[in-house]
Amino acid sequence: MSTQPFALSDVQRDFRRTLRTFCEEKIAPNAAEVDRDAVFPWQSFEACKEMELPALGIPDAYGGAGADHVTQAIMVEELSRVCASTSLSILISKLGMIPLMNWGTEELKKEYMPRVAIGEIQASYCLSEADAGSDVAAMRTRAVRDGDDYILTGSKYWITNAGVSDVYVVFAKTDPEAGGRGISCFVVEKEWGLRIAKHEDKLGMRGSPTGEVVLDEVRVPASHRVGEEGQGFTIAMHTLDRSRPTIGAQAVGIAQGAIDYAASYMKQRHAFGAPIADLQGLRFMLADMATRNEAARALVYRACSLIDDDPAGELTMYGAMAKAFASDTAMAVTVDAVQLLGGYGYTKEFPVERHLRDAKVTQIYEGTNQVQRVVIAREFLKGV
Ligand SMILES: Cc1cc2nc3c(=O)[nH]c(=O)nc-3n(C[C@H](O)[C@H](O)[C@H](O)COP(=O)(O)OP(=O)(O)OC[C@H]3O[C@@H](n4cnc5c(N)ncnc54)[C@H](O)[C@@H]3O)c2cc1C
């Protein structure tokens, strides 16, 4: 096991300060409304474009800023602290581009990555199906070769940004007999015939549309296959390893938003003639919330630094640990934040109930926390 220490640079600290102000001024004011109306946060996304935030996760050779992954985590944290749906709008296009970055041809990289970097287009990642979530290899979507094209038929479920995205990275079976080894990966443009069948009415993350993407004999040029035929499962898992730590960052940011709000409320709210912040029982709760989230943050940064440099092959385990620990922490912390606000915490007039609802999905998507524990134990046992 590596024992590499971790500390933020001055540049990263400055970046957080700048983003905190930006998020409070430009993103926070829209958050309650996009949650209430379940609409994509266009105004916030446009503000992120002006700040060039979509560029952060794209390599500079393809029009991006090529930021390290700890810096990307800071961005995700700060956005999530005020509006988790907006953070997801940036994260999802990055997720869609990771397969291209690592497995795509030069042509595919040049065709899509610069446009994602400037926020001109957005991307979705289409892995899950109605009957194939944790069990990815059970997917039924088919890709059949037809000359220089593939014909894709099937339905992808739970797709973040469905309808908003211009480009969909779709996993489909080219060899149904081969199980996980028969999956391939394709880039599919919206205009080629994708259909959005329905959108989910969700508990949280309501500003981020989640929908069913239907492919009904959609013709995709073979040049838009990512990697080799049969490499899809490997590409999907390799991609999630590189994305999960930033879901951990999302959870840390949501939790931080709830902690900060609850702490300032405790100073203002009076009971029995004094601020409730004077009550030791509540101070202990706040201390535990802050400590747990700080521990989650350290694990997330550790995992993020491994995306950039992983000499000992530890990313899979640390990424799963970071995602599971940070999201479990966010869930516990946001429940406690509601408690600290008493009855007011239970209403939509205050943001902590939104933080609670948004936190829940971080325990579910990009692999449930049960699946993360399967991964952690498997990886840990390998090293014993
Ligand atoms: C808001 C939202 C957005 C999403 N966005 C996307 C997206 O953009 N792209 C995409 O491809 N998918 C997306 N997903 C899908 C998400 O990744 C899946 O929901 C998730 O992987 C779980 O799959 P499932 O829902 O089919 O649950 P199931 O796999 O049916 O799991 C049901 C229960 O069984 C448990 N379980 C399953 N297998 C095991 C096991 N081996 N050991 C222990 N427990 C197990 C699970 O932990 C869970 O508690 C999204 C989901 C949501 C809710």
**Average pLDDT for the chain:** 97
Whether residue 108 is predicted with pLDDT greater than 70 in this model: the reply is yes
CA-nearest of 124, 379, 343 to 241 is: 379
Q: In whole angstroms, give the CA distance from residue 327 to residue 346.
A: 21
pLDDT cut 70: percent of the chain above it: 98
Alpha carbon nearest to ligand 1 atom 22, residue:
133
Q: What is the pLDDT of residue 2?
A: 47
pTM above 0.75, yes or no: yes
Among 87, 89, 128, 212, residue to substitute to test ligand 1 (most atoms within 8 Å of Cβ): 128
Regarding the beta carbon of 62 and ligand 1, being less than 6 Å apart is answered no
Cα–Cα distance between 37 and 234 in angstroms, integer? 38
At residue 141, the pLDDT reads 98
- C-alpha–C-alpha distance, residues 110 and 118, integer Å: 13
Q: Is the pLDDT of residue 267 over 80?
A: yes
- Rounded CA-CA distance 303/321 in Å is 8
Residue 130 alpha carbon, nearest atom of ligand 1: 26
- Residues 329, 94: contact at Cβ < 8 Å? no
User: How remote is the CA of residue 139 from the centroid of ligand 1, in Å?
Assistant: 13
> Could you read off the pLDDT of 310-334 as tens digits, one per residue?
999 999 999 999 999 999 999 999 9
Position 106 pLDDT exceeds 90? yes
How distant, in Å, are the alpha carbons of 105, 143, 148, 172 from that of 182? 20, 10, 19, 8
Which pLDDT score is estimated for 5? 53
pLDDT above 90 (res 3): no
**Residue 212 reports pLDDT greater than 80:** yes
Q: Could you give the CA distance from residue 329 to residue 353 in angstroms, rounded to a whole number?
A: 16
- As a whole number, mean pLDDT of residues 91-116 equals 98
Dist CA 79 CA 44 (whole Å): 10
Ligand 1 pocket, residue 371 CB under 6 Å: yes
User: Which whole number is the average pLDDT over 144-153?
Assistant: 98
**Taking a C-beta distance cutoff of 8 angstroms, is the pair 205, 192 a contact?**
no
Q: Is residue 85 helix, strand or coil?
A: helix
pLDDT score of 62: 98
Give the tokens for residue 83: 């509006």
Convert the pLDDT of each residue in 186-210 to its tens digit.
999 999 999 999 999 999 999 999 9
- Whether 178 lines ligand 1, by a CB cut-off of 6 Å, is no
Structure tokens at 138: 């059970």
pLDDT of 69 reads 98
CA-nearest of 212, 313, 250, 247 to 98 is 247
Alpha carbon of 133 to ligand 1 centroid (Å): 5
Cβ 138 vs Cβ 132: under 8 Å: yes
pLDDT score recorded for residue 383: 87
The stretches of the chain forming alpha helices (DSSP H) are 10-22, 28-37, 42-50, 69-82, 84-103, 106-117, 232-268, 280-308, 315-340, 352-360, 369-382
* Residue pair 173/182 in contact by the 8 Å Cβ criterion: yes
The gap between the terminal CA atoms of the chain, to the nearest Å, is 10
Query: How many whole angstroms separate alpha carbon 309 and alpha carbon 315?
Result: 9
- Evaluate whether 45 touches 27 at the Cβ level (below 8 Å): no
Q: Is the CB of 12 under 6 A from ligand 1?
A: no
Cα 377 to averaged position of ligand 1 atoms, centre (Å): 19
What letter represents residue 63's amino acid?
G
What pLDDT shows up at residue 7? Answer: 84
Catalytic (active-site) positions: 366
Ligand 1 centre from 237 Cα, in Å?
14
> Could you identify the atom of ligand 1 that is nearest to the CA of residue 95?
8
Query: What span, in angstroms and rounded, lies between the C-alpha atoms of 380 and 94?
Result: 28
Cβ(158) – ligand 1 distance below 6 Å: yes
Closest-lying ligand 1 atom to the alpha carbon of residue 128:
11
**Nearest-atom index, ligand 1, CA of 156:** 11
Task: Give the model confidence (pLDDT) of 347-365 as tens digits.
Answer: 999 999 999 999 999 999 9
Q: 233 CA to middle of ligand 1, Å? A: 16
Regarding beta strands 167-173 and 123-126, do their DSSP bridges make them parallel or antiparallel, or are they unpaired? parallel
User: Tokens 């094209």 map to which residue?
Assistant: 149
Residue identifier of the C-alpha nearest atom 14 of ligand 1: 158
Q: What is the amino acid identity at position 56?
A: L
Tell me, using a 6 A CB cutoff, whether residue 128 lines ligand 1. yes
What are the CA-CA distances from residue 20 to residues 27, 249, 286 (Å)?
10, 15, 21
Report the nearest-CA residue for atom 43 of ligand 1: 370
* 302 DSSP assignment: H
**How far is ligand 1, taken at its centre, from the CA of residue 47, in Å?**
31
Structure tokens belonging to residue 361? 């999905």
If pLDDT is split at 50, 70 and 90, which confidence band does 4 have?
Answer: low
CB 365 near ligand 1, within 6 Å: yes
Residue 279 CA to ligand 1 centre (angstroms): 41
